[in-house]
Structure 1
Amino acid sequence: MESLRFAYPLASAALVLIIDLVVWQYVDPRHLRWKMVIRLCLFLLFSLALLDGDLSPLSPVQDGFTPARHTLATVLAFIWWLYGARALTALAVVMLEPRIGGKGHLLQDLMGAIIFLVATVAAAGYVLDLPVKGLLATSGAVAIILGLAVQSTLGDVFSGIVLNATKPFRVDDVISIDDIEGKVIEIDWRSTYLLTGSGSMVVIPNAMAAKTRIINLSRPNRFHSVVLTIELPVRLRPSLVLDSLEKALQGSRDLLAQPKAGAVIRKSGLRSVEYEITGFIKSRDRRGAVRNQLYDLIYRQLAASDSLRQHREQLTPATRESAALNSVPMLRTLDETERTALERLMRLSSYPVGGVILPQGTVSDALLIIESGVVTVAIERSDGWHELGRLGPGDLMGESGIIEQLPLPVRCTALTDCVVYRIDRADLEPWLHEGNQLAEALEGLASFRGHVREVALQHRPAAATPKGLLHWIRKSVMPLPPG
């Protein structure tokens, strides 16, 4: 122990405090554990320096010191308790960080406040030799008076403690409190701060958040809901509308199979019926894009449904074939003569659910136009069948056989009951000469879909990582490759 003796114990203790402040201030915060180890070591040196100077934080300073040394010794002994409280608080934060995360400020502050309160009372009793019982009684009376004065603030504080303990939401969660939706950016002693979609910040008192209904839109994080509401005329038959809505939902690949998406009638009036469509997706960031996609799919399916088509034809008389041609963007550029000629060549076909419309490996001898329903397009890879996409009303099929006369590398199957128009290749010969708009549009569509197929075929399935005790032993004993 002689090697640990200090020539100037009190000055050495003060120097240790200065070193601790410098280290804690200037060492990178990312090295929190190393800072904690250094602080514990410095606290041990500080304690040894006090003991070497015949000081004990567990008893008042002896009377053998000069007034200046007595004052310095009393201050250092009092600081020992606060220094120990600070080291204990930092140690607890490091140990609890994996559980509470790096942003659990409220619990950390509460824990630190309790530790420092206990340390201050202990220092007052042991070092200053004050009557702790009287001090606690006085402090209790003062606390009651202050509690009555700041009752609402204390309600927010304790509500914040409850919210941090039960964790109905965390920082970075998207929640809705009292119909206010936003992202949680901070939870402090009094309030919860939300960043709304418009970029403004909303401050909600914790007492209000604890009493009102909280909707956490970020949990469960496995899926997120997409809800649409549309109103349609009451003259449209609900069963046909619901069938079109179900087809529109199946036309989106972003929607999860489970929980299953669905559509229901929310309410009905004298002039309109309100329908609610609900689906679920993996990423909340895709909600806007999926909503837009669903609106487009719903419009296309409703436009292709019998009920809406009959209503539209009553307002503006038109043939069914003409409506199908209008649904294809690339065919809208044809003049009236060409459109009339194509309408005479269109033949109607229907396919049940699961029916193969175009088998893989066949050369399509016709251009197919989907009038209603959803078609899934899949390609066979080494790991099985892979879905490339889904087609709906107004989409074309069989363009590769018409333009390139090559075997179809994909399989087109009816995902729902489908109605398809067919135009034979022989009938399309007048439109397939070089420079024709229809021929160029079909070539561009075939090229784009060919690129999508190439990307899908280049995919390599991830090799399954072996697990288990045998794999661990083999990995541990196998020598590493040289170099």
Structure 2
Amino acid sequence: MDQLWFAFPLISGSLLLVADIVLWQWVPTRFQRWKMLGRVLLFVLFSMALLDGGLSPLYQVPADWDAPRHVLGTLLSIAWWLFGARTLTMIALLVMAPKIGGKGHLLQDLLGALIFLVAAVAAAAYVLDLPVKGLLATSGAVAIIVGLALQSTLGDVFSGIVLNASKPFRVDDWIGVDGIEGKVIEIDWRSTHLLTSEGSMVVIPNAVAAKNRITNFSRPDHFHSFTLTVELSSRLRPSLVLDSLNKAIQGCRELLAQPAASAVVVKSGIRVVEYEVTGYVKSRDRRSAVSNQLFDLIHRQLASTETRQDQVRPVNRQSAVLNSVGALRMLSDADRAELQRNMRLSAYAAREVVLAQDVVPEALYIIESGVVSASLLQGDTWVEVGRMGPGELIGESGFVDQTPTLARFCAYTDCMIYRIDRAELEPWLHEHSELIGALAGLQKFRASARAAMLDNKPQAVDPTGFVDWLRKRVTRFQVPRKDAPDKLS
């Protein structure tokens, strides 16, 4: 090298170190990549200056140098290892930044400490010619003593390493650990810092976070759930309350369609029934606003339901039964009064036939109490296809189109059933078609349900394999008894 600035290579190397420090301190962080490129260039020039000055970081400083030059050469050789470690650390962090996150400092610190440790040992071995084996043995003994003294702290450190590697949460995630909820502000060597909703800072040791169940409310990040609990009087019919809750859910536009919101009965008591509404929103910050909006919608829907109930509050037993029938809710008060005058109460014992199959009904049956079983005849066996309870109708086909029933209806338990004879309503039916329309909708729904059930009838599977072969063998060698009947009836 005969360049002017390499005429004094050791002095030039010292100036390059000063330039690196100034560059890294004064250049803004937004030029991170340019700073890295400048550091690599300065490291290359620093290496060229040392080689031009007769120094090699892999060997000791020549012994024939005078004392000032020997000290400067030793310092520059050690600085080469540390300069290289710093440059390698910055390059590694720049490459790993998208994976480990720009705000997670624990892995960066561990990686830098490991690289600098290797550089320090290498400088001691190559430049200072120290006995590395003895140094490592001594440092190992010191490490054991320090480790025992700092066992709790080291547990937090290694737990932090595990948390950073497995990433159950990141900075800015909202999590819950050991009953404490908060936003992750920082993850350092020993602890995780949470900012709670009250504005206070909670410091959780990493060992505690690693041993306890962690709930990350920020993942998945495309939807967030919330739950509302509503307690209502037991006098309100649960089906009407659930209908009002579902209408309130449909009226809230900010609720996600998928996953769908739902309303269920959680607990039923003598005076109070507890309902739970679960919904999902896109942003966690919108949960409170949507919850308040949903509470308001629920209140309005329930108020509307109670108003309708007050308007049609039953005055007698027959009126209460008619109010429980969903298919007859659209009838006017005059029509209901006409039906009440023709209702006759009958008692049925368990297993007693209420209405046979393939018979044209001559009356309309309304179940007041008990359970009625609906069955279809398949071959020689009656197969139950459904059960009916209070507030349900039987025999609507006789009023609509005079077609026979599609099933047989038997009392599954002791039942009280109201009967409305068609003959008594014959003149009235021609003038009031609302009842026929309501019963026609019910008949259509039941016919489609029966057709779907028959279409999905399971097919008999012909047994094959070893079991079928064994069954045939047993049947072949079976000797009939003389006193046995020829055929079972």
TM-score (norm 1): 0.63
| TM-aligned CA deviation for residue 307 of structure 1 | 8.8
Structure 2 equivalent of residue 201 of structure 1? 201
**For residues 113-262 of structure 1, what are the structure 2 equivalents within 5 Å?**
113-262=113-262
Q: Which runs of 5+ in 1 are unaligned?
A: 315-346, 349-483
Deviations 1:407-434 (A, max 9, x none): xxxxxxxxxxxxxxxxxxxxxxxxxxxx
Distance 1:75 1:115 in 2: 19
Distance 1:79 1:156 in 2: 33
Secondary structure of the residue aligned to 2:189 is coil
Is 1:50 aligned to residue 54 of structure 2? no
| TM-aligned CA deviation for residue 56 of structure 1 | 0.8
Once the two structures are overlaid, the 10-residue window that deviates more, 5-14 or 182-191, is 5-14
| TM-aligned CA deviation for residue 236 of structure 1 | 2.4
Contact residue 104 and residue 186 of structure 2 kept, 8 A: no
Structure 2 equivalent of residue 338 of structure 1? none
Distance 1:290 1:312 in 2: 33
Contact residue 171 and residue 185 of structure 1 kept, 8 A: yes
| TM-aligned CA deviation for residue 2 of structure 1 | 3.6
Look up the equivalent residue of 1:107 and give its one-letter code. Answer: L
**For residues 40-79 of structure 1, what are the structure 2 equivalents within 5 Å?**
40-79=40-79
**For residues 307-386 of structure 1, what are the structure 2 equivalents within 5 Å?**
309-310=309-310
Distance 1:70 1:280 in 2: 72
Distance 1:223 1:308 in 2: 36
Distance 1:112 1:23 in 2: 20
Secondary structure of the residue aligned to 1:59 is coil
Contact residue 124 and residue 132 of structure 2 kept, 8 A: yes
Look up the equivalent residue of 1:89 and give its one-letter code. Answer: T
Look up the equivalent residue of 1:182 and give its one-letter code. Answer: G
Contact residue 303 and residue 309 of structure 1 kept, 8 A: no
Look up the equivalent residue of 1:254 and give its one-letter code. Answer: E
Deviations 1:144-175 (A, max 9, x none): 11111111111111111111111111111111
Structure 1 equivalent of residue 467 of structure 2? none
Is 1:91 aligned to residue 91 of structure 2? yes
Look up the equivalent residue of 2:70 and give its one-letter code. Answer: H
Structure 2 equivalent of residue 27 of structure 1? 27
Deviations 1:123-144 (A, max 9, x none): 1111111111111111111111
Deviations 1:201-230 (A, max 9, x none): 111111111111111111111111121112
Distance 2:308 2:160 in 1: 54
Number of residue equivalences: 316
Once the two structures are overlaid, the 10-residue window that deviates more, 16-25 or 266-275, is 266-275
Distance 1:230 1:179 in 2: 24
Distance 2:66 2:312 in 1: 105
Distance 1:75 1:305 in 2: 88
Secondary structure of the residue aligned to 1:305 is helix
Secondary structure of the residue aligned to 1:125 is helix
Distance 2:184 2:308 in 1: 45
- Shift of the 46–301 alpha-carbon distance from structure 1 to 2, 3 Å rule, reads same
| TM-aligned CA deviation for residue 68 of structure 1 | 1.7
| TM-aligned CA deviation for residue 311 of structure 1 | 11
Structure 2 equivalent of residue 380 of structure 1? none
- Shift of the 239–177 alpha-carbon distance from structure 1 to 2, 3 Å rule, reads same
Distance 2:15 2:180 in 1: 53
Look up the equivalent residue of 1:271 and give its one-letter code. Answer: R
Contact residue 237 and residue 307 of structure 1 kept, 8 A: no
Q: Say which one has the larger Rg.
A: 2
Secondary structure of the residue aligned to 2:175 is strand
Deviations 1:250-298 (A, max 9, x none): 1100001110100122223343222111011112221111010000011
Structure 1 equivalent of residue 39 of structure 2? 39
Distance 2:313 2:157 in 1: 65
Structure 1 equivalent of residue 16 of structure 2? 16
| TM-aligned CA deviation for residue 91 of structure 1 | 0.7
- Shift of the 4–135 alpha-carbon distance from structure 1 to 2, 3 Å rule, reads farther
Look up the equivalent residue of 1:209 and give its one-letter code. Answer: A
- Shift of the 142–308 alpha-carbon distance from structure 1 to 2, 3 Å rule, reads farther
Deviations 1:339-364 (A, max 9, x none): xxxxxxxx99xxxxxxxxxxxxxxxx
Contact residue 236 and residue 307 of structure 1 kept, 8 A: no
| TM-aligned CA deviation for residue 14 of structure 1 | 0.9
Contact residue 5 and residue 12 of structure 2 kept, 8 A: no
Deviations 1:61-85 (A, max 9, x none): 1111111211111111111111100
| TM-aligned CA deviation for residue 247 of structure 1 | 1.1
Structure 1 equivalent of residue 363 of structure 2? none
Look up the equivalent residue of 2:281 and give its one-letter code. Answer: I
Look up the equivalent residue of 1:245 and give its one-letter code. Answer: L
Contact residue 236 and residue 308 of structure 1 kept, 8 A: no
- Shift of the 309–156 alpha-carbon distance from structure 1 to 2, 3 Å rule, reads farther
| TM-aligned CA deviation for residue 114 of structure 1 | 0.5
Structure 2 equivalent of residue 111 of structure 1? 111
Secondary structure of the residue aligned to 1:41 is helix
- Shift of the 312–48 alpha-carbon distance from structure 1 to 2, 3 Å rule, reads farther
CA RMSD, aligned part only? 2.1
Structure 2 equivalent of residue 293 of structure 1? 293
- Shift of the 66–311 alpha-carbon distance from structure 1 to 2, 3 Å rule, reads farther
Look up the equivalent residue of 2:198 and give its one-letter code. Answer: S
Contact residue 186 and residue 194 of structure 2 kept, 8 A: yes
| TM-aligned CA deviation for residue 96 of structure 1 | 1.4
Structure 2 equivalent of residue 268 of structure 1? 268
Give the share of equivalent positions with the same residue, in percent.
Answer: 67
Deviations 1:431-469 (A, max 9, x none): xxxxxxxxxxxxxxxxxxxxxxxxxxxxxxxxxxxxxxx
Distance 2:4 2:52 in 1: 9
- Shift of the 312–27 alpha-carbon distance from structure 1 to 2, 3 Å rule, reads farther
Distance 1:308 1:134 in 2: 92
Distance 2:2 2:38 in 1: 23
Deviations 1:53-111 (A, max 9, x none): 11111011111111121111111111111110000000111111222221121111111
Contact residue 5 and residue 49 of structure 1 kept, 8 A: no
Deviations 1:156-204 (A, max 9, x none): 1111111111111111111111221111111111111111111111111
Look up the equivalent residue of 1:128 and give its one-letter code. Answer: L
Structure 1 equivalent of residue 281 of structure 2? 281
- Shift of the 124–308 alpha-carbon distance from structure 1 to 2, 3 Å rule, reads farther
Secondary structure of the residue aligned to 2:6 is coil
Distance 1:183 1:274 in 2: 32
Look up the equivalent residue of 1:241 and give its one-letter code. Answer: V
Look up the equivalent residue of 1:305 and give its one-letter code. Answer: T
Distance 2:57 2:35 in 1: 25
